[in-house]
Amino acid sequence: MSNEILNPILKGFNPDPSICQAGDDYYIATSTFEWFPGVQIHHSKDLANWELVAQPLNRVSQLDMKGHPDSCGVWAPCLTYHNGLFWLIYTDVRAYQDDFKIAHNYLVTAESIEGPWSEPIFMNSSGFDPSLFHDDDGRQWFVNVLWDHRPEASLNHHRPAKSFAGILLQEYDHEQKKLVGPIKNIFPGSDLGLVEGPHLFKRDGYYYLLTAEGGTFAYHAALFARSKTIDGPYEMDPQGHFLNSWQVPSSSLRRSGHSDMLELPNGDCYLVHLTGRPLPYRGRCVLGRETAIQKISWSEDGWPRLAQGHVGPTDTIEGPFGGSAPESFQSQSLDFANDQLPIDFQSLRIPLGENNLSLTERPGYLRLKGAECPTSKYEQSLIARRQQAFCFTATTDVDVQPETIQQMAGLISYYNTGKFIYLYVSHDPEQGRVLEIMMANMSGGSMSYPLGQRIPLPAEGEIGLRIDVDFDAWSCAWRHNGGAWQRLAIELDYSILADEFGAENFTGAFIGMACHDMSGARLAADFRQFSYQEREFMSRQQRAEDC
């Protein structure tokens, strides 16, 4: 078997990876921001093939995000395994788009990766990107970014480094369940600025501090510093950033930076890192920030280097065990015969209970009960999965009878409350049941309706909805009671569903089902099936012929 690993190992929105080993098992935790449950944990036996196995923050007592702005919520978790326990550190960010950040750091633990996970232990609120290091003398140390809200800005040639004020270190006492002792700023970062994402390691008598810098967009990078004592002083790698996509334009993995390192029992080291794959010719990452892996070698003077000999990440690496399966397209078809959704479906900010979602009230259907509008940051009846390939087709069939203009249900391509494309069934006072498209593209918070007119639908029966995405082209079709698809003569710019469009955000594109009822009557929409099929690119003519 080949031992080649294909990147990215976690496709679609899976940023800020943290990796750990427990016996023969490997786990990666990634950020989820405003999506609930919080934190995604993938499992592997070979570092090449990964399966989503846990979303540990699954109770409101652990994570209450109602009202959180877009791209807040869970930032940069840190997962470790020590003394028979899994330790998960995470930040709950409640605001970030002004001089202040409201960021609270917590710890939860579990004996099994599947849980149950404990109630959270509060750590601090001085910044974000927390990490926990278990030293070989039995002590535990907590690091996080210090956030400085003051106006003084340390400028560099890329962007202001204002507010990223260094890496704080403090001891953690698990018996007392709190941080104890002095707080020390151990590392200010390099001239690139925006130091974040700290992780500590120990090797050959040195403490190594791994950080990300340059911001999470084009100039993202990773840097090591080291010290003989845990509280410094830390000297930076004399060769500078060892991982940096912008210096290697030929690399298809862009935005590479935020990282974590794993040392195997035989001494081999691997680095998991955030990356992004832009749309061809557009520079926008609709797939969000993904996770890739690189092999690490060590220089003669004890500094980590990418094994390929340069700072650019590569699409394939040599793995320690077997290899990954040949790259293939994912396929998911749901008929809602089971009493729970697959683990890869998430909701916005809050769990969807019987008040919003039911798989039993109408057997064989997913029932969503309409809640607030598509721009609500409080309560939406929306359930969705990540887009994980550039080209895909998604379909659903919905049985719904809107009675007012404030009621709607359908299939949604969603990035956040300001960036989405919604294909839905609604009501028109003159035409009755109609098909509509609503689009949000950050233009002052107002919606656009690119169809220009509502399409009358049959008064009874299921309406099938279909969305086709081909890189930056979004198109759609509909059908009645499982009949032939009728394609709409419209093609929209799908690239708006990206971090780089409009205000800077940090998530990725989702596809899912939604029901909204601004009247408060809680309209019920019954979805009979949902499918997500990744595929090769289809031209406009091919899409028309496919229907």
* DSSP, res 496: G
Whether 401 has a pLDDT exceeding 80, the answer reads yes
Compute the average pLDDT of residues 46-51: 96
Task: For 323-360, write each residue's pLDDT tens digit.
Answer: 777 778 999 999 999 889 999 999 999 999 989 999 99
Task: For 481-540, write each residue's pLDDT tens digit.
Answer: 999 999 999 999 999 999 999 888 999 999 999 999 999 999 999 999 999 999 999 888
Whether 4 has a pLDDT exceeding 50, the answer reads yes
- pLDDT band for 131, please (50, 70, 90 cuts): very high
The three-state (H, E, C) secondary structure of 243-263, written as one string: ECHHHCCCCCCECCCCEEEEE
The three-state (H, E, C) secondary structure of 22-60, written as one string: ECCEEEEEECCECEECECEEEEECCCCCCEEEECCECCC
Using CA of residue 159, residue 163, residue 169, residue 172, what is the dihedral sign?
A: negative
Q: E strands of 280-380, at which residues?
A: 289-298, 304-306, 316-318, 331-334, 346-348, 357-358, 366-369
Task: For 134-182, write each residue's pLDDT tens digit.
Answer: 999 999 999 999 999 987 644 443 444 568 999 999 999 999 999 999 9
Residue 245: how many CB atoms within 10 A of its CB? 25
| pLDDT for the residue 162 | 62
Compute the average pLDDT of residues 37-43: 98
CA distances from 477 to 117, 197, 428, 484 (A): 43, 43, 20, 10
* Active site amino acids: 16, 196
β pairing state of 391-399 and 357-358: unpaired
Question: What does pTM read for this prediction?
Answer: 0.96
Q: How far is CA 54 from the centre of its chain?
A: 14
CA distances from 318 to 17, 18, 242, 264, 362 (A): 20, 20, 18, 14, 50
Mean of all residue pLDDT scores within the chain: 94
| pLDDT for the residue 98 | 83
Task: For 248-291, write each residue's pLDDT tens digit.
Answer: 999 999 999 999 999 999 999 999 999 999 999 888 999 999 99
Compute the average pLDDT of residues 307-324: 91
| pLDDT for the residue 157 | 39
